[in-house]
Amino acid sequence: MMRMRFGTFMAPFHHPEHNPTLALQDDLDLIQHMDRLGFDEAWIGEHHSAGSEIIASPEIFIMAAAERTRNIKLGTGVVSLPYHNPLWVAERIVQLDHMTRGRVMLGVGPGALPTDAAMLGLEPPQMRPLLEEYLPIVMHLLQSEEPISYSSDRLTLKDARLHLRPYSDPLFDTAVAAVASPSGAKMAGKHGMGVLSLGATVAVGMDVLAHHWTIQEEVAAEHGKVADRDKWRLVGLMHLAETEEQAREDVKYGITQWFRYFQHVAAFPQMAVEGNDIDEMIDFVNNGLGVIGTPEMAVTQIEELWKQSNGGFGAYMTLAHNWANLERTKKSYELFARHVMPRFQGQVHGTKGAAERAEAAREGLAEQQMRAVDEATERYEAEKEAKSTSL
């Protein structure tokens, strides 16, 4: 198994009645906490309506987080490309690449909330075609110094090019979001990008993981690209505690609001969730969607996803969700870092192997150690007796 990376996909999700200033500070605090714990990545979302996912500019948030962290990579998760001029998207991400010294990543998607798009006069059927039109422009600007021109009823570019080339050599990580449809996997394959599988652990997602990879691999080959499993990131749901009972108690804080958001507010049917009370909601998550429980349950879930992917993936991202208060959320990430991550990154193989070898050899070595102590004691007594005799 390759060394798996771990991180979070932070939309974020906050109760609309909570203080948004403090909520944004909590998000920054959580990423600082993850950086100290050794997480690899954090992807930050873009949303403009519905009152819960309150980060409007992932780029601004990433710069604030970059100044507070040392090692964790920070990505746009995602820039809703149909909302933007692709030239300025490329300009902003390259500037971030320089200012973070190569810790930035670019994730793009069509936009998840129809209420966002409606304010721009866009309808859902337009979103993926616009993403397919704009993404080649962004990738050309990032990878080539040749100018590019483009014209449509929404956008005009004339001999556009970047005046600042990327800091990363040859380029920072790029990814396309995918839920249930094959469009994300197709675009990733066409442009040699990674995939952010947001529907990785929903019931339909469990069925389409291997299918998504097959699509990406086939399309990549058609366009002279190589699909790289290390760039495939799966996003799932986790809240961990020392016991399953404690985890269930923790999420009473905020899981109901999260479920109600997807059931009644966000027009995002790909993330349909079921449950009328807290117990039903928890059981729905634990029935293949994710884990509300212990680190061992999390290990089992990731192993199942690995099998379902039919060949593996590069990273597992927990979806940041505010089911628990900040203290217990941080504890969940700590337990994940201490007990889950090492199982998939190789750190425990050496120490576990050393402990097993020491245990197997303990009985014989302990006997030798006791004999050595007895022999040393006997020598001392003999030396003592010889001294007294000579006197």
Return d(Cα 332, Cα 239) in angstroms, integer: 6
Region 182-211: mean pLDDT is 79
The full DSSP string for 359-379 is HHHHHHHHHHHHHHHHHHHHH
**What percentage of the chain reaches a pLDDT higher than 70?**
96
pLDDT at 206: 53
Task: Flag whether pLDDT at 202 surpasses 70.
Answer: no
Q: What is the pLDDT of residues 278-311, one digit of tens each?
A: 999 999 999 988 999 999 999 999 999 999 888 9
Residues 36 and 114 in one domain: yes
Query: CATH code at 109?
Result: 3.20.20.30
| Of the candidate ranges 35-39, 80-84, 265-269, the one whose mean pLDDT is the lowest | 265-269
Q: Residue 162 is encoded by which pair of tokens? A: 């970047």
196, 222: one domain? yes
Shared-domain flag, residues 259 and 376: no
209 pLDDT above the threshold of 90: no
For residue 86, is pLDDT > 60? yes
Q: Are residues 180 and 195 in the same domain?
A: yes
Q: How confident is the model over 247-274, as a mean pLDDT?
A: 91
- Checking if the pLDDT of 254 tops 80, the result is yes
**Cβ 108 vs Cβ 131: under 8 Å:** yes
State mean pLDDT over 224-250: 96
353 and 332 within one domain:
no
Q: Which of 75-89, 218-232, 265-279, 283-297 has the lowest mean pLDDT?
A: 265-279
Q: By the 8 A CB rule, do 332 and 35 touch?
A: no
Q: Which of 311, 328, 345 is the last residue in one of the domains? A: 345
Nearest Cα neighbor of 254 from 14, 12, 8 is: 14
Q: Is 150 helix (H, G, I), strand (E, B) or coil?
A: strand
Quote the pLDDT of residue 388. Answer: 83
One-letter amino acid of 391: L
Same domain for 251 and 375?
A: no
pTM: 0.93
Task: Specify whether 361 is located in the same domain as 229.
Answer: no
pLDDT band at 100 (very low <50, low <70, confident <90, very high): very high
Strand partners, 236: 318
The DSSP bridge pattern shows strands 41-44 and 5-10 to be parallel
Number of Cβ within a 10 Å radius of residue 224 = 7
Which pLDDT score, from 0 to 100, does residue 175 have? 98
* Amino acid code (one letter) for 209: L
Question: What local confidence, expressed as pLDDT, does residue 271 receive?
Answer: 76
pLDDT at 208 over 80: no
Same-domain pairing of 367 and 329: no
d(CA 292, CA 168): 38
**Same domain membership, residue 386 and residue 268:** no
Task: Assess whether 360 and 283 both reside in one domain.
Answer: no
Which residue range(s) make up the domain with 369? Answer: 349-391
pLDDT digits (tens, 9 = 90+) for 331-382: 999 999 999 999 999 888 888 889 999 999 999 999 999 999 999 999 988 8
Residues 149 and 259 occupy one common structural domain: yes
Give the pLDDT score at 298. Answer: 98
Mean pLDDT over each residue of the chain, to the nearest integer: 93
| Angstrom distances, CA of residue 62 to CA of 14, 47, 67, 112, 370 | 18, 15, 9, 20, 60
Which backbone phi and psi does 302 adopt, to 5 degrees? -70, -35
Question: Contact, 79 vs 53, CB < 8 A?
Answer: no
pLDDT of res. 24:
98
As for how many domains the chain has, the answer is 2
Q: Are residues 341 and 353 in the same domain?
A: no
- Which amino acid would we find at residue 253? Y
